[in-house]
Amino acid sequence: MKDNTPRIDHVVLWVRDPVAAADFYEKAVGMAPLRVTDFAAGTAPFPSVRLNEETIFDLMPLAMAERMTMVPGAAGSAGHPVNHVCLSLPADDFEALRDRLEERSVPVSDFTYDSYGARGPAKRSFYFRDPDGNVLEARHYE
């Protein structure tokens, strides 16, 4: 990736069990795990999962929240709150994600229609939570 235009590089999610979180994001959401073995071996501080060629989610152990002091005024907040993270997917991947979540009995919201996002109104979207309570929205555009 050599294009240096502005984009989101990564999102950090607080999780209780990074290995279990990586398993959820791999199997239920369809994201590729990164550094899980290194984390389990103690050689990486956290694992990640890859959304696409440009973007990863870091699965930060909640136990590290007390160290969130680098941002002025953030001590004690661990950088919270975040309302939700939205994944924009092609229609087929959108359907496959919902199917995987339902197969795993992950509660999903009803569909919303024409909600506004980065590319204008999205045809459909829905919300779900990961095992740590982080809220994600999945959507697809025309």
**How many whole angstroms separate alpha carbon 80 and alpha carbon 119?**
26
Question: Token pair 């975040």 is at which residue?
Answer: 82
SS3 23: helix
**Conformational region of residue 17, where left means phi above 0, alpha means psi within -120 to 50, and beta covers everything else:** beta
Question: Token pair 């990486």 is at which residue?
Answer: 44
Mean pLDDT of the chain: 89
pLDDT of residue 124: 96
With bands split at pLDDT 50, 70 and 90, how would you rate the model's confidence at 5?
confident
SS3 139: strand
pTM: 0.84
**How many whole angstroms separate alpha carbon 114 and alpha carbon 139?**
10
Task: Reply yes or no on whether the pLDDT at 90 is more than 80.
Answer: yes
With bands split at pLDDT 50, 70 and 90, how would you rate the model's confidence at 64?
confident
Task: Reply yes or no on whether the pLDDT at 66 is more than 80.
Answer: no
SS3 111: coil
